[in-house]
Amino acid sequence: MKLFRWSKGRADTGYWILPLMLSDKLMADAYLLKYPTGAYIPPHKDPAPDGFVHFRVNIVLPIPHTGGRFITDNPLANAEESPNLNIGIVKVFWFESSEVEHEVRRVYSGTRWVISFGWLKRKPPKLSDCRKTSGPCSSGSDSGDHYLSGHYKKQSETPETAQERQVSDQGTDKEER
């Protein structure tokens, strides 16, 4: 795929893709997607290398069209019930495209335009993997944070501040109930 050259989208379903940015170093990409009348994308998950999650932010531009609705098997990511953003008439969808099946329904009239940004991120270790080691599992960041039982804990934390954090967390749990 070449930058700034239109090519047919996958599965020959009628949409077109224009690469705006492709970076192996950043493990990221950006595309302009064009869905003319009749175009759609069947349900799928985007590929990601082992140990990574593929994230995507799609911005649907406010150009008149009918159909072309974005659907996912994650009810929180579907448009009307979503924490995703509707900025005026621009719709913004954020989702884990390698973990969540998603599709674009057929466009019935007009052209649906989307700017799509994607990136790869390492998956955090599973708690079961953490228990196999003698210490906390690394989150993969360089900030000194470690993943442990669903909470982030600073490496430099003393036993006294750890106890204060535990008491604070217990109070938070009670408030949420």
pLDDT in tens, 107-124: 999 999 999 999 999 988
Q: What angle do CA 83, 143, 132 make, to 5 degrees?
A: 90
> For residues 20 and 9, what is the distance between their CA atoms, to the nearest angstrom?
15
* Residue whose token pair is 């954020």: 94
What's the pLDDT tens digit per position in 26-72? 999 999 999 999 999 999 999 999 999 999 999 999 888 999 988 88
Looking at CATH, the fold of the domain delimited by 7-122 is given as Jelly Rolls (2.60.120)
Predicted TM-score (pTM) of the model is 0.66
The domain segmentation of the chain, as residue ranges, is: 7-122, 127-176
* Chain centre to alpha carbon of residue 99: 9
